[in-house]
Amino acid sequence: MSRVPTILCIDDEVLGLEIRKVVLEREGYVVHTATDGPAGIRIFRQQPIDAVVLDFAMPGMNGGAVATALREIRPNIPILLLSAYLTLPQEVQQMVTLVANKGDGALALLRNVKKILEISGEPS
């Protein structure tokens, strides 16, 4: 029997964070959440995380800075960056596995998480 993937979701918008948690848990994933970048990085260091779902626009430490920090810890961690912005800086896009529209909904979230886990070679 294979291990269930563990997803870390980081977003300063608590409602969206909780919705993503419920959607992912209903699909069978183990989910940890953080409401800011530093808390997310702490959880990432302490837990066996298989993939990260990360908001771009957060106060203090944006998603690009968080992705950079996560990649310094584990260079191959799959990261799905959610953003309401139409264009993101190229250097931010290069730090993540996939960029998706934050408002795309539950089915798109599940598809994208599965996609980044497949890219990384993790079972989804």
Residue 11 has pLDDT above 70, yes or no: yes
Determine, yes or no, domain membership for 71: yes
- Output DSSP code: residue 4: P
Question: Tokens for 74?
Answer: 């584990």
Tens-place pLDDT, residues 79-114:
999 988 767 778 888 889 999 988 889 999 999 999
Number of domains in the chain: 1
pTM value is: 0.92
| Spatial CA neighbour of 95 closest among 70, 112, 121 | 70
- What's the confidence (pLDDT) of residue 56? 92
Q: Find the domain containing 93 and state its range.
A: 6-120
Determine, yes or no, domain membership for 24: yes
CA 82 from chain center: how many Å? 8
81 DSSP β-pair partners: 54, 99
Cα distance between residue 92 and residue 22, in whole Å: 27
Determine, yes or no, domain membership for 1: no
Q: Per-residue confidence at 1, pLDDT binned at 50, 70, 90?
A: very low
CATH of the domain at 27: 3.40.50.2300
Tens-place pLDDT, residues 42-69:
999 999 999 999 999 899 999 999 999 9
Contact predicate 57/11, CB 8 Å: no
